[in-house]
Chain A
Amino acid sequence: MIWLIFAFGVWGLGWWVNTRLAAAPRTRVTGLVVPLIFGITLIAIWEGVVRGLEISPVLLPAPSMIAARFVASTDILWEDFVQTVIKGALSGYVLGCGSAFLVAILVDRYDFLRQGLLPVGNFVAALPVIGMAPILVMWFGFDWQSKAAVVVVMVFFPMLVNTVQGLADSSAMQRDLMRTYAAGYWATLLKLRLPAAMPFIFNGLKIASTLALIGAIVAEFFGSPIRGMGFRISTSVGQLALDLVWAEIVVAAVVGSAFYGIVALVERAVTFWHPSQRHS
């Protein structure tokens, strides 16, 4: 009962503080503090409710329990992180986005590719490619290579479609200007079309960053060596070690946000000139 009252108390307090802060003029500090308070409040309520209602840890472990498990299993979590994020997701991301970028330049250059490949690309991009995971695991084996392959397949078409769209985004006048300089294909590509495509390219990179992590984790459900975040999640659920599952989820959430955040930061540095980035 005490815990439930605690939960409601925290809820009220967090609410009150945040409405106060949100009403105040927006600054950098409130922009950071408001979501922070929101998150802390949520965790505190979670803790209070789980303890107050004595919810079984199999259904929902308390945050304190997850934290304890996290600290106790850093070596496992690190091993899984390396296996899934570095080897699976990251290598697949770099390979998939890199090849999509190069293919996009070819597609943009040769019209028959644009007419043939692009509709297929749009079709495949709309498919839940994760359904291909078992097949790819069969092809490339249990280790990280098959996970990277799943990631490549997942990120390739969104990246391709975005880049091709971006390469077509320069205005008629910007292209006319290049014509008056008798600029060749490469000069036009490097000095006009690629810079103009950057906002689209980064949009593709951001979409791909979330897809990569999902792909690498879920692909492990279909077979993997005895490490990896997806492997750990599926086996720990079987062993009712839900605290470890949640610890992995925390890692995934932090990694996913950090990944996206890094891409967004680079985007801001590269496309500083774009109206959407300018006064932010």
Chain B
Amino acid sequence: MIVEQLKDATEFHRVEPVISAKNLDLTFQTNDGPVHALKDVSLQIGKGEFVSFIGPSGCGKTTFLRCMADLEHPTSGEITVNGVSPEEARKARSYGYVFQAAGLYPWRTIGGNIRLPLEIMGYSKHDQAERVARVLELVELAGFEKKYPWQLSGGMQQRASIARALAFDADILLMDEPFGALDEIVRDHLNEQLLSLWARTEKTIAFVTHSIPEAVYLSTKIVVMSPRPGRITDVIESPLPKERPLDIRDTPEFLEVAHRVREGLRAGHLDD
């Protein structure tokens, strides 16, 4: 009996969603009339999941991510993050956000930019230095700490902005096309790094991308979206194992998932 209950409790704990959206609607009022950016979006993201959002430009991927981050407020519907409202989650500093553009402050060095959240959140000086060094190592920018953002290439800046989001202990990572501006090789490498980081830290990751292989390679769950109005058309649970070497991308399982994502995207387009 007690064992049963315990099992129930752990079971419950496992499926309790980190992010839960129910019938989310968001309409932007613009000068050319209302834009229906999200329509009836419902989604559950469990703890430790890696969820990719894929879909054509303007389908509301960024908007959805911004709703989770309390940067945008849904017109109707319900969304919780870590069981509380996005605002409370934001104030508890439960997520790190990587924007579509690097957005480093030009008056701060790379190290200074990564230190920014740590300063605001009150980490000790010693801890700050340690963390900056560690995340710079992680994105392979060690040695660039004292450079200014404008002295680095776009891809390096983007890596620095990822490091900035990793520097503090948030168990959710929201990433908006973080690797969009990078070349294929660097992208592969960072994908691998991100997977190992995810496996090590058990962070919950929501990840926006335009690349099918990237989405399939990284995710435990792939959310396909389609525009006008922005909505979810398919949610694909990946059958791939958690351990993923780069050459998993040539296996039939991988290609099958990729195929299903492509079909989902195509179906969304045909609706137009």
Q: How far in angstroms is the closest Cβ of chain A from B123? A: 12
B99 is contacted by which of A173, A192, A273 (Cβ under 8 Å)? A173
- What residues of B have a CB within 8 angstroms of the CB of A191 in the complex? 105, 116, 119-120
A29 within 8 A of B: no
B212 within 8 A of A: no
B91 touches A182 (CB 8 A): yes
- What residues of A have a CB within 8 angstroms of the CB of B97 in the complex? 176-177, 180
Contact residues of A between 131 and 168, Cβ < 8 Å to B? none
A177 touches B99 (CB 8 A): yes
A177 is contacted by which of B70, B95, B103 (Cβ under 8 Å)? B103
- What residues of A have a CB within 8 angstroms of the CB of B95 in the complex? 180
A182 touches B107 (CB 8 A): no
- What residues of A have a CB within 8 angstroms of the CB of B121 in the complex? 181
B73 within 8 A of A: no
A179 touches B71 (CB 8 A): yes
1/0 per position for B81-98, CB-CB distance to A under 8 A?
Answer: 000000000111101110
Contact residues of B between 174 and 231, Cβ < 8 Å to A? none
A176 touches B120 (CB 8 A): no
Q: How far in angstroms is the closest Cβ of chain A from B230? A: 20
Q: How far in angstroms is the closest Cβ of chain B from A181? A: 5
Q: Chain B CB within 10 Å — which of A174, A195, A273 has the most?
A: A273
A183 within 8 A of B: yes
- What residues of A have a CB within 8 angstroms of the CB of B71 in the complex? 176, 179-180
Closest to B165 in A: A180
Closest to A171 in B: B103
A68 within 8 A of B: no
1/0 per position for B40-71, CB-CB distance to A under 8 A?
Answer: 00000000000000000000000000000111
A179 touches B120 (CB 8 A): no
- What residues of B have a CB within 8 angstroms of the CB of A181 in the complex? 93, 116-117, 120-121
A273 touches B117 (CB 8 A): no
Q: How far in angstroms is the closest Cβ of chain A from B9? A: 31
**What is the interface size of chain A, counting residues whose CB is below 8 A from a CB of the partner?**
22
A28 within 8 A of B: no
Q: Determine the distance from Cα of A179 to Cα of B72 in the docked complex, in whole angstroms.
A: 11
B105 is contacted by which of A174, A187, A271 (Cβ under 8 Å)? A174
- What residues of B have a CB within 8 angstroms of the CB of A273 in the complex? 106-107, 148, 150
- What residues of B have a CB within 8 angstroms of the CB of A192 in the complex? 105
- A187-B99 contact in complex given A179-B71, A182-B93, C-beta closer than 8 Å: no
**What is the interface size of chain B, counting residues whose CB is below 8 A from a CB of the partner?**
23
Q: How far in angstroms is the closest Cβ of chain A from B86? A: 11
Closest to A170 in B: B105
Q: Determine the distance from Cα of A198 to Cα of B91 in the docked complex, in whole angstroms.
A: 29
Q: How far in angstroms is the closest Cβ of chain B from A177? A: 6
- What residues of B have a CB within 8 angstroms of the CB of A20 in the complex? none
Q: How far in angstroms is the closest Cβ of chain A from B85? A: 13
- What residues of A have a CB within 8 angstroms of the CB of B117 in the complex? 181
1/0 per position for B115-151, CB-CB distance to A under 8 A?
Answer: 0110111000000000000000000000000001010
- What residues of A have a CB within 8 angstroms of the CB of B101 in the complex? 173
Closest to A195 in B: B107
B120 touches A180 (CB 8 A): no
Q: How far in angstroms is the closest Cβ of chain B from A104? A: 19
Closest to B174 in A: A180
A109 within 8 A of B: no
Contact residues of A between 174 and 218, Cβ < 8 Å to B? 174, 176-183, 187, 191-192, 195-196, 198
1/0 per position for B148-169, CB-CB distance to A under 8 A?
Answer: 1010000000000000000000
Q: How far in angstroms is the closest Cβ of chain B from A193? A: 11
Q: How far in angstroms is the closest Cβ of chain A from B151? A: 10
Closest to B109 in A: A273
1/0 per position for B218-256, CB-CB distance to A under 8 A?
Answer: 000000000000000000000000000000000000000
- What residues of B have a CB within 8 angstroms of the CB of A187 in the complex? 120
A26 within 8 A of B: no
Q: Determine the distance from Cα of A195 to Cα of B104 in the docked complex, in whole angstroms.
A: 13
1/0 per position for A263-279, CB-CB distance to B under 8 A?
Answer: 00000000101110010
Q: Determine the distance from Cα of A229 to Cα of B103 in the docked complex, in whole angstroms.
A: 50
- What residues of A have a CB within 8 angstroms of the CB of B120 in the complex? 178, 181-183, 187, 191
- What residues of B have a CB within 8 angstroms of the CB of A178 in the complex? 120
9 shortest interchain CB distances as A-B pairs: A273-B106, A273-B107, A180-B97, A195-B107, A173-B103, A182-B91, A181-B120, A183-B120, A181-B117
Q: List 25 A-B contacts (CB under 8 A).
A: A171-B103, A173-B103, A176-B71, A176-B97, A177-B103, A178-B120, A179-B71, A179-B90, A180-B69, A180-B71, A180-B90, A181-B93, A181-B116, A182-B90, A182-B91, A182-B92, A182-B93, A182-B120, A183-B120, A191-B120, A192-B105, A195-B107, A196-B107, A273-B106, A274-B106
In the complex, besides A182-B92, A273-B148, A275-B150, 15 extra interface pairs with C-beta distance below 8 angstroms are A171-B103, A179-B70, A179-B71, A180-B69, A180-B90, A180-B97, A181-B116, A181-B117, A182-B90, A182-B91, A191-B105, A195-B107, A196-B107, A271-B107, A278-B150
